[in-house]
A and B are shown apart, each in its own frame.
Chain A
Amino acid sequence: MAYMTHNKHYKTGDAPPPPPAKGVLRVYGMKFCPFVHRLKLVMHSVGADHETINCNTKQKPEWFFEKSPRGTVPVIEQDGELIYESDITARYINACYGKDKQLVTQDPLCLAKEELLLGDLQKATSGFFGYAMAKDDEGRKKGMENMEESFKALQKFLLEANQPYIGGEQAGFNDFMFWPFLQKIGAFHRDFVRKNSSVNGYYERMLENESVKACKHPDKLERQFFGEFLNGNPNVDYDVQ
């Protein structure tokens, strides 16, 4: 099934889609949203079939706030039940469908350390968006510094744990939580990623992961969408292909 290629985005004024059929898992998302991407990676990894309704996140359809009072994607709907937030929904999907996969690290101390790392890796997110929305060189410099700090944290973690992925010998849940942001940084700042050999090696390993491949946009498409999105252009073409 397709994971990230649903081009229609419902926007303000659009009538809502009919509810999902009984038993069907539906995701409300946005084609390029890194938080939706997190959920999609986990869904692919555990084989959770679902349908997707994408929403324009700058001109949100009014009915969307009935699905998610916070007005954010992703949202899962199934048989009238609604949950949202990327980490909560991803954990839910993993718990329901991923028992054989062991995406979540079992050792409590290792898991705690992964969760701490994810906190440090938030600087990748703030750095990426800070850089892209910066009005001047100083803003871009701050963005770069944040991305660099996140890379240092990832490098330190991987070297100390002496393993190829955050989750251990294979890409795990927390690799998928981080990947969408690293993928975007890779699309926009590839040379910067190359400068840190640990992170570059990790980046290239993750590119070979089947779920990463199934959910990946070509770098050129990422740049095309985000070029407009981050400039505050209200007429962003969400349906760009």
Chain B
Amino acid sequence: MKFCPFVHRLKLVMHAVGVDDHETINCNTVHKPEWLFEKNPRGKVPVIERDNEIIYESDITSRYINSCYGSSKQLVTQDQLQRAKEEVLLGDLDKAISGFFVYGRAKDDEGRSNGTKLMEESFKSLEKFLCSNKQPYIGGSHPGISDFMHWPFVQRIAVRHRDLLSQNTTVNGYYERMLTNESVKACKHPDSLEAQFWVGYFKGAPVYDIFAEKGAAL
């Protein structure tokens, strides 16, 4: 689905390891085609299909693509302790995901406040990690798979909650560095398009087939 942050994760990794040669079939995720469940019993995107083999889940498919195509790219941190710390961080960064959706779906100020609090907590975790590592990216001196796993949610938070992002200088700096990454640029929708989609989504009526004048890799 063109605006799905979980599909976005996979697309970032695919671009980063140079898998240009793939086709995309997008699905309406509110009115799912019945056949999607034959591809993925869980009914979710992304799904990879090739020669009748099917796998799904954003993290599993991303790791698969990286294993098959990314050996020269070193997207996965090689130092084992550092890699483990990145994985622990990604668990803390889940709050960015829940915060974004809690805020968007909130019916009142209390709900929005809860969403904001979750997003803020995720920023604190990211700030702590980047400052103690003294590295520009989660993956080290250049973006790695963990950066691409988190980026789709930072991108969306930036569209709908730019002030919240600006308030944390470390995370804001990270956001602006990531915007210069070629894979991020290749997969990015214009903020106005992203905003348009999410307004519709959170009203319960997403419009999927909107597009910008210049197409993106999604």
| A interface residues (Cβ-Cβ under 8 A, vs B) | 70, 81, 83-85, 88-89, 91-92, 95-96, 108-109, 111-113, 115-116, 119
Chain A contact surface mostly:
helix
Contact residues in A for B60 (Cβ distance below 8 Å): 112, 115-116
- 27 CB contacts below 8 A, A to B, read A81-B81, A83-B81, A83-B85, A84-B88, A85-B87, A85-B88, A85-B91, A88-B88, A89-B84, A91-B84, A91-B87, A92-B81, A92-B84, A95-B80, A95-B83, A108-B64, A109-B64, A111-B63, A111-B64, A111-B67, A112-B55, A112-B60, A113-B55, A115-B60, A115-B63, A116-B57, A116-B60
Indicate if B122 sits at the interface (CB-CB under 8 A).
no
Given A83-B88, A85-B91, A116 and B55 contact (CB-CB distance below 8 Å): yes
**CB of A69, distance to nearest CB on chain B (Å):** 8
Given A108-B64, A108-B67, A108-B68, A116 and B84 contact (CB-CB distance below 8 Å): no
Q: Determine the distance from Cα of A85 to Cα of B81 in the docked complex, in whole angstroms.
A: 13
Q: Which of chain B's residues 178-196 have a Cβ closer than 8 Å to chain A?
A: none
Indicate if B53 sits at the interface (CB-CB under 8 A).
yes
Size category of the binding interface on chain B: 10 to 19
Contact residues in A for B57 (Cβ distance below 8 Å): 115-116, 119
Q: Which of chain B's residues 48-91 have a Cβ closer than 8 Å to chain A?
A: 53, 55-57, 60-61, 63-64, 67-68, 80-81, 83-85, 87-88, 91
Q: Determine the distance from Cα of A95 to Cα of B88 in the docked complex, in whole angstroms.
A: 16
Q: Which residue of A70, A84, A96, A111 is within 8 Å of B80 (Cβ)?
A: A96
Contact residues in B for A96 (Cβ distance below 8 Å): 80
Contact residues in A for B88 (Cβ distance below 8 Å): 83-85, 88
For B95-111 the 0/1 string (1 means CB < 8 A from A) is: 00000000000000000
Q: Determine the distance from Cα of A119 to Cα of B56 in the docked complex, in whole angstroms.
A: 11
